[in-house]
Amino acid sequence: MVALGLLDYRSDRLRPDSGSPLAVSPANPSREARRTQVSSIQIAVIMSCAHGLNDAYASFVPPLLPRIMNDLGLSIAMATTLAVSFSIASALPQPLFGYLADRNGRRILAVTGPLVSGVFVASIGFASSFWILVLLLTLGGLGSAAFHPPGASYAVRVSEGKGGGTRYSVFSFGGSVGLAVGPLVAVGLVQWRGMEGLWVAMLPVLILMPIFFFGLPSGRTEVASASAPPNLRIVLKHLVGPLGLIFGVSATMAFVQRTFLTMEPIIVAHSGGSEALGAVALTVYLGAQVFGTVTGGLLADRVDRASLLVQLCFWALPAHLLAVWLGPQTALGLVAIGVAGFLGMATLPPIVVMAQEMIPSAAAVSSGIVMGLAWATGSIGVLGTGVLADTIGPQLATLVSMPVIVVAILLALHPTLRQGRPHFTTGV
């Protein structure tokens, strides 16, 4: 499902360059300032749209799992493996892609990522076996992984000053909308033309990504003028400190959200509900995340972020339990699902802001750790829920999994995460 303006992004990082939309000429400051503002808006719009396309493909698989299970004769554990293969591939390599973006520039990765993801995910309808599905989803996930760190970094650097949480929420808004729309698009195409009809979904990304490429500034100026590339040894050193706590909170909440997204359509199918009802449940959950990420971003700029995380995680536990217990069959169940989605995603802006504060000169890397590596770690746990579901049933297995949120609460309560403490080193 990112990025923030907490970087100490000094003016010396961008030198005047006639080829860069972000360049500022001292000859006509007012005119160039307007040009820079327009460029910033352009970049923000492009990144938000690209984020929406990228993340829409990420939500294609869960609502189709009951159909895939029936077509290929898969167990619940095997079905969850499909969802997890995409999740891990889209998350685990993010720190590496972040390092490459910080070192070599962001434009290529920010554009080719959604393109690769869209092409391979939209091709799953042609897969004739479980392992071909795993391969296609893994390749699609790698494309998604390539997009998020540079996309998050672009969202940070289009403007200066405070307000990182707010800028993150704008970027994340596009992704959340894509996640919410994805299940309805996937199910709609499949009901219209069958699984093979999913290929139609790759058309938007094939058309728009080349356009987006020319709308983004080249990375050559920032790479040429940047300081030394991120020191991975120092980044790893941060992981054994406060950054590790943030990583743990993110991984725990990722597990909870991935578990719900993967298991809810299966729970609905086992209770006799339709494929469309399962998609509605996911759309309500993911749609509420749109508002959750915006709210979380705004609050992250105004209140103590560690305390905010504690409150959000605390209330997310009963909300998720009610959502799983009631399901989407009733209005109350849909409300519970919406509240759970809202609270779960509202945790992400303060997580990413805090991470980038700790290593401000390695924005893409730190984003990749708490968005990517953490979400990959959390996604692995979904496999355990799938195995348990084959034994005790999908609903009970999911309910048993939700109390892990207590771990996130305890990590967020650690005194080193109180605002203003500790004094993080920023050099990389």
- How would you write 281-331 as a 3-class SS string? HHHHHHHHHHHHHHHHHHHHCCCCHHHHHHHHHHHHHHHHHHHHHHCCCCH
Concatenated DSSP letters of 60-109 = SHHHHHHHHHHHHT--HHHHHHHHHHHHHHHHTTHHHHHHHHHHH-SHHH
Please give the pLDDT value at position 96: 83
The sign one gets for the Cα dihedral 9, 178, 294, 342 is negative
Q: What are the residue boundaries of the structural domains of the chain, listed by start?
A: 37-417
- Terminal CA-to-CA distance of the chain, rounded, Å? 26
Q: How far, in Å, CA of 154 to CA of 163, rounded?
A: 15
300, amino acid identity: A
207: Cβ contacts below 8 Å, ≥ 6 apart: none
Closest CA to 48 of 135, 176, 149: 176
Residue 19: phi, psi to the nearest 5? -90, -5
Q: How far, in Å, CA of 86 to CA of 92, rounded?
A: 10
Kind and range of the H or E run holding 129: none
Q: Which two tokens stand for residue 357?
A: 């504060």
Q: CB of 266 within 8 A of CB of 386?
A: no
Reduced to 3 states (helix: H, G, I; strand: E, B; else coil), residue 119 is: helix
CATH for the 37-417 domain, from 2.40.10.10, 3.40.50.300, 3.90.550.10, 1.20.1250.20: 1.20.1250.20
Please give the pLDDT value at position 161: 46
Residue 391: phi, psi to the nearest 5? -100, -50
- Each residue's pLDDT, cut to its tens digit, for the chain (428 residues) gives 433 333 333 333 333 333 333 344 444 545 544 444 446 667 778 888 899 999 999 889 888 999 999 999 999 999 989 988 998 898 888 878 877 877 777 888 889 999 999 999 999 999 989 999 999 999 999 999 999 888 877 775 544 445 555 666 677 788 888 888 988 899 999 989 889 899 999 999 999 998 888 888 765 545 444 445 555 666 666 676 788 899 999 999 999 999 999 999 999 999 998 888 998 999 999 999 889 988 988 888 788 888 999 999 999 999 999 999 999 999 999 999 999 999 999 998 888 888 877 776 666 677 778 877 888 889 889 999 999 999 999 999 999 999 999 999 999 998 888 654 444 444 43
Please give the pLDDT value at position 119: 95
- 60-89 pLDDT, tens digit each: 988 899 999 999 999 999 998 998 899 889
C-alpha angle 141-145-149 in degrees, rounded to nearest 5 = 165
Peptide bond into 242 cis (omega under 30): no
Q: CB of 230 within 8 A of CB of 101?
A: no
| Residue 20, Ramachandran bin (φ over 0: left; ψ between -120 and 50: alpha; else beta) | beta
Cα 423 → chain centroid: 28
Concatenated DSSP letters of 1-57 = ----TTS---GGGS---TT-TT---TTSHHHHHHHHHHHHHHHHHHHHHHHHHHHHH
